Amino acid sequence: MSEIDTNRTLRLLFPQWQGGNNPPYVLGAHLLNWLAPKSNGPFEEVPVDLNSDLEKEKGIVARRTVLHQAKSAKSLIHKHNPDRVVVFGGDCSVELAPFAYLNEKYNGDTALLWLDAHPDVSIPQDFPHHHAHVLANLLGVGDEEFIAEVPRCFKSEQVLYVGLNDMLEPLNSDPMKNMKLDIVGPNEIKQDSSKVLEWLAVKKPSKIIIHFDLDVLDLKEFRSLLVAYHGTYEEYIKTTPQGSSMETIIRVLQDVAKSYDVVGIGITEHFPWDSYFLANMLSRLPLIGDINNKELPTFNPL
């Protein structure tokens, strides 16, 4: 595609953790932002409450906080009115505001590629954490206040799952079972990107939006994921379906971008176990931190 105007591409750092109820996502988002190639374009960081109430309301943990932070993200995006948005998250629910903005901006002439091990179409009655609800909300399903943040809902024919391979039950639950969401599994992209490109050739979208949850990657190759907690890693390596290699995902996204106009990408659920534990250790060492600090790192493994 033609060269992108970086001045019209907003980079959004959104270190939200409450949607998955896991504080390490804060560090994970900041590391993604730090590791990514630098840009001269506009940048914003969505304010995130590090000590928020995790009360369950209407079936959703930290509902009020997550909704407030989504509204803050929307405000920052509209401040710039960008042509493109890059999101460094945080849990998957960070993508509600940016993807809703892009679908409205381009009048629904978009395709949403959902690269994720999980479908993210749960509803509050079935699962309490909003990171698993976000695609349902973008499709107009779920909590009414979150849906209200999506001025133009995606249609099911706009969505393609890429690499989906785990916890598929929500796809068959009410009301999702009446929606047809196309799937290209990990084995179908292992050799080439043809299945994804064929789907796009039929849909003929003007713009592409990409959700990239890092858990779509092969757990044996990439271990900065929730399921790679050292206490349970050996168990999950045996039971978790194999994901895609980094090179496979890179190739698919490069092939898409060579033929289509990518206007949004969100990278989410970076769970840097080693860095998180190291940060805690450093905070408790002489001359660096507090030697009276006995606080252990907090997290919620599966």
Q: How far is CA 287 from CA 82, 282, 283, 296, in A?
A: 44, 10, 10, 19
pLDDT band, residue 3 (cuts 50/70/90)? low
As for how many domains the chain has, the answer is 1
What's 241's DSSP letter? P
Q: If we measure between CA atoms, which residue out of 154, 171, 179, 160 comes closest to residue 116?
A: 160
Q: What's the CA angle centered on 89, arms 85 and 94, to 5 degrees?
A: 75
Q: What percent of the chain has pLDDT over 70?
A: 99
Section 72-86 average pLDDT:
98
**Of 42, 134, 49, 136, nearest to 97 (Cα)?**
134
> Is the pLDDT at 4 greater than 80, yes or no?
no
Report the CATH number at residue 39: 3.40.800.10
Rounded to an integer, what distance in angstroms lies between the CA atom of residue 64 and that of residue 50? 14
Residue 73, in any domain of the structure: yes
Measured distance between the N- and C-terminal CA atoms of the chain, rounded to whole angstroms: 41
Q: Which domain holds residue 67?
A: 6-282
Q: Give a yes or no: residue 227 inside a domain.
A: yes
277, part of any domain: yes
- Asked, for residue 297, whether it belongs to a domain, the answer is no
What confidence tens digit (pLDDT) does each residue in 174-190 have? 888 888 899 999 999 99
Six token digits for residue 124: 């509050």
Which pLDDT value is given to residue 1? 52
Evaluate whether residue 1 is within a structural domain: no
pTM as predicted: 0.96
175 prior amide bond cis, ω within 30: yes
The answer as to whether 117 is a domain residue is yes
Kindly tell me the burial class for residue 188, based on how many C-beta atoms sit within 10 Å of its own C-beta (0-12, 13-18, 19 or more).
middle
- Looking at the domain assignment, is residue 302 inside a domain? no
